């Protein structure tokens, strides 16, 4: 196809859109490493702000990692079996269940958080602990794990594989762990990556559920945006991006389209 | 014949152990029931019984709530329309042409998909805040700092930021399935570029546009982090809910508003699903 003037117009437009998305990321990275952002890059680079963020907020970073990892483990134990059940059963009940489990995607985090507070807010030991945030994160991310595994199960003929294994004498649990789980590996891995990224970045729910002693990274970010100088906020954002970008790259690499064979 | 008998035999073995898989669903049912359905029911109960059951009536009659609801609806509508236009141009461009560095552009467009709303709010401050890029640009061009971040335009920029990646990726998915023979046929019949776009391409993209548009609308309606960081004077619905809950300690009102919000976003995602879209209602 000839690349005419329309090609270049569209290219410029696309580049502008990409710049709109990417420029602020770079701005916040440089601001986090600059001595004085108001003077500019000529004031020199420094790790001072990153170190300051670490001393102020390192507990939020550890808590975020802890919650993200435990959420992932729970999602694995609960979500994978659930996806298998939903793929295998086609009844009214399973349809209803599917709907209920997907609902947290559609309901804003705020509403889920309010609901949790209204029911369990009175149990102060639970309310004050990080487990309260964990519960919110599991509710919010579980549907993504289930959907991701379910998509893989629906694309393969797992019944045939299971029948084969059953005819060779494999028990139900043997079939589940040695036939089903290995075959939906890609769905499980992308579900894990999604859970980790979503949990690490969750704010809407967490802001309502957190207490002064249970602050996660995004909560700390909001805190620093409101009260800290721009360089500290930027350095904090930089640390956050450093945490989730590897997950994003891994997810992209996983979802890349297989190159067409010649 | 032999094969079929074997299949039947296997099937019998398979069916005999059919019961066991019900065990697998129990943890999910418990979690969903205890930590999601029960809290939602409680919210519904609170919104209906407290305040003499007038919460929903107040939303429709008190200007503060109604204004918040309507302005959030309007903002989300405008953001959705603008993102759809931008995404159609970019999406069609990226699927139609092959060129060097295309995959980098696609990666750039999809990374912001999972940034939380607070971070996006901060990016808006970086772009359009008091010390932002636009301010410097305005200072250099007309000698006046352009500060958009803390007004409705700041919200608009932020909402656009998290909407564009969502919509572009969906449009690209739909555009990949376009039948280019139809476009060639149209061209050979003498249709010009705009006629082709209007009569062939856009109708084929419509389901994708509807589904990604509803996802984008739902996300904008529920976006809390961006509005929270920018702390604009415009009260979007999630901010109103938050203020009702924390400052006014009015649980019933917060519950009623968040259920209305939840109903709207759920409806949008149901529309998106009917059009075959995935329900990626995250972020904001």
Q: Tell me whether residues B39 and A112 touch, CB distance under 8 A.
A: yes
Residue of B111, B157, B211, B223 to mutate, testing the A interface (most A Cβ within 10 Å of its Cβ): B111
Identity of the residue in B21, B36, B218 whose CB atom sits nearest the CB atom of A88: B21
Does residue B141 sit in the same domain as residue B17?
A: no
Clarify whether residues B183 and B240 are in a common domain. yes
Mean pLDDT of chain A: 87
- Evaluate whether residue B177 is within a structural domain: yes
User: Within this chain, do residues B68 and B11 fall inside the same structural domain, yes or no?
Assistant: no
**Alpha-carbon gap, residue A112 to A142, rounded angstroms:** 14
> pLDDT tens across B84-129, in order?
999 999 998 988 888 888 888 888 888 888 888 899 999 998 888 8
pLDDT in tens, A94-140: 888 888 888 888 888 889 999 999 899 888 888 888 999 999 999 99
ipTM of the complex, rounded to two decimals = 0.87
Predicted confidence band at A83 (pLDDT cuts at 50, 70, 90)? very high
Q: Same structural domain for residues B138 and B173?
A: yes
Does any domain span residue B283? Answer: no
- H-only helix segments in chain B: 2-16, 26-32, 38-49, 55-61, 63-96, 102-110, 117-128, 133-142, 152-176, 180-188, 193-196, 202-222, 225-230, 237-246, 251-274
Q: B36 touching A, CB under 8 A?
A: yes
- Whether B134 and B208 map to the same domain: the answer is yes
User: Where is the domain boundary, B53, B69, B92?
Assistant: B53
Q: What is the CATH number of the domain that holds B120?
A: 1.10.3720.10
3-class SS string, B67-112 = HHHHHHHHHHHHHHHHHHHHHHHHHHHHHHCCCCCHHHHHHHHHHH
Query: Residue A29: exposed, middle, or buried by beta-carbon count in 10 A (0-12, 13-18, 19+)?
Result: middle
The answer to the question of residue B127 being in a domain is yes
Q: Are residues B14 and B104 in the same domain?
A: no
Query: Is B9 within the bounds of a domain?
Result: yes
User: Does B23 share its domain with B142?
Assistant: no
Inside any domain, residue B281 = no
User: In this structure, is residue B21 part of a structural domain?
Assistant: yes
Examine residue B279 and state whether it is found in any structural domain, yes or no: no
Q: Please tell me the distance in Å from A149's CA to the nearest CA on chain B.
A: 14
Percent of residues, chain B, with pLDDT higher than 70: 89
Which of chain A's residues have a Cβ under 8 Å away from the Cβ of B11? 163
Q: Are residues B135 and B18 in the same domain?
A: no
> Looking at residue B282, what is its pLDDT?
44
Please state, in angstroms and as integers, the Cα–Cα distance from residue B192 to each residue in A9, A16, B57, B95, B195, following that order. 17, 27, 54, 20, 5
In a shared domain, residues B246 and B105: yes
- Do B134 and B261 fall into the same domain? yes
Same domain, B252 and B132: yes
- B88 & B164 share domain: yes
Establish if B160 belongs to a structural domain.
Answer: yes
d(CA B164, CA B151): 20
- B181-210 confidence digits (pLDDT tens): 888 888 888 888 888 888 888 888 888 888
Which structural domain, as residue segments, surrounds residue B48? 1-53
Residues 9-48 of chain A whose Cβ lies under 8 A from any Cβ of chain B: 10-11, 13-15, 17-18, 20-25, 27-28, 31, 37-38
- Please give the Cα distance from B74 to B82 (Å, whole number): 12
Confirm or reject contact between B153 and chain A (CB < 8 A).
no
The total of structural domains in chain B comes to 2
């Amino acid at each position: 196809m000839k690349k005419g003037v329309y090609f270049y117009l569209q290219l410029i437009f696309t580049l502008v859109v990409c710049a709109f998305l990417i420029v602020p990321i770079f701005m916040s990275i440089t601001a986090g490493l600059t001595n004085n952002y108001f003077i500019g890059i000529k004031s020199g680079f420094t790790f001072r702000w990153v170190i300051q963020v670490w001393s102020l907020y390192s507990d939020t970073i550890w808590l975020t990692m802890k919650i993200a990892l435990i959420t992932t483990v729970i999602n694995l134990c609960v979500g994978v079996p659930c996806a298998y059940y939903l793929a295998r059963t086609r009844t009214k009940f399973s349809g209803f269940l599917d709907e209920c489990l997907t609902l947290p995607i559609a309901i804003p985090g705020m509403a889920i958080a309010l609901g949790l507070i209204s029911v369990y807010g009175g149990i102060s030991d639970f309310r004050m602990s990080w487990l309260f945030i964990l519960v919110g994160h599991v509710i919010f991310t579980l549907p993504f794990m289930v959907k991701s595994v379910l998509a893989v199960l629906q694309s393969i003929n797992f019944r045939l594989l299971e029948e084969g294994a059953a005819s060779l004498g494999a028990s139900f649990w043997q079939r589940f762990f040695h036939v089903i789980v290995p075959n939906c590996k890609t769905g499980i891995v992308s579900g894990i990556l999604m859970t980790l990224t979503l949990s690490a970045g969750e704010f809407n729910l967490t802001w309502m559920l957190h207490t002064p002693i249970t602050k996660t990274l995004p909560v700390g970010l909001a805190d620093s945006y409101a009260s800290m100088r721009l360089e500290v906020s930027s350095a904090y954002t930089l640390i956050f991006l450093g945490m989730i970008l590897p997950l994003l790259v891994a997810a992209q690499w996983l979802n890349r389209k297989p190159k067409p064979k010649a | 014949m032999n094969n079929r008998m074997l299949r039947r035999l296997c099937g019998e073995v398979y069916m005999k152990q059919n019961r066991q898989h019900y065990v697998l669903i129990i943890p999910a049912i418990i979690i969903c029931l205890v930590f999601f359905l029960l809290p939602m029911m409680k919210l519904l109960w609170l919104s209906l019984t407290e305040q003499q059951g007038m919460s929903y009536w107040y939303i429709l009659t008190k200007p503060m709530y109604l204004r918040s609801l309507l302005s959030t609806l309007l903002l989300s509508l405008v953001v959705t329309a603008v993102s759809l236009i931008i995404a159609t141009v970019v999406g069609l461009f990226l699927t139609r042409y092959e060129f060097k560095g295309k995959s980098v552009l696609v990666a750039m467009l999809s990374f912001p998909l999972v940034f939380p709303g607070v971070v996006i709010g901060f990016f808006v401050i970086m772009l359009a805040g008091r010390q932002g890029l636009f301010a410097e640009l305005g200072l250099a061009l007309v000698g006046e700092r352009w500060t958009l971040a803390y007004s409705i335009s700041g919200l608009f920029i932020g909402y656009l930021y998290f909407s564009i990646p969502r919509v572009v990726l969906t449009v690209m998915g739909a555009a990949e399935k376009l039948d280019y023979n139809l476009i060639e046929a149209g061209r050979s019949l003498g249709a010009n570029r705009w006629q082709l776009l209007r009569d062939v391409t856009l109708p084929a993209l419509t389901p994708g546009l509807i589904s990604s548009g509803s996802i984008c609308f739902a996300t904008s309606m529920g976006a809390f982090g961006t509005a929270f960081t920018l702390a604009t004077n415009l009260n979007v619905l999630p901010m109103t809910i938050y203020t009702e809950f924390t400052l006014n300690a009015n649980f019933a009102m917060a519950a009623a508003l968040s259920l209305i919000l939840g109903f709207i976003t759920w409806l949008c995602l149901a529309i998106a699903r009917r059009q075959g879209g995935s329900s990626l209602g995250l972020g904001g």
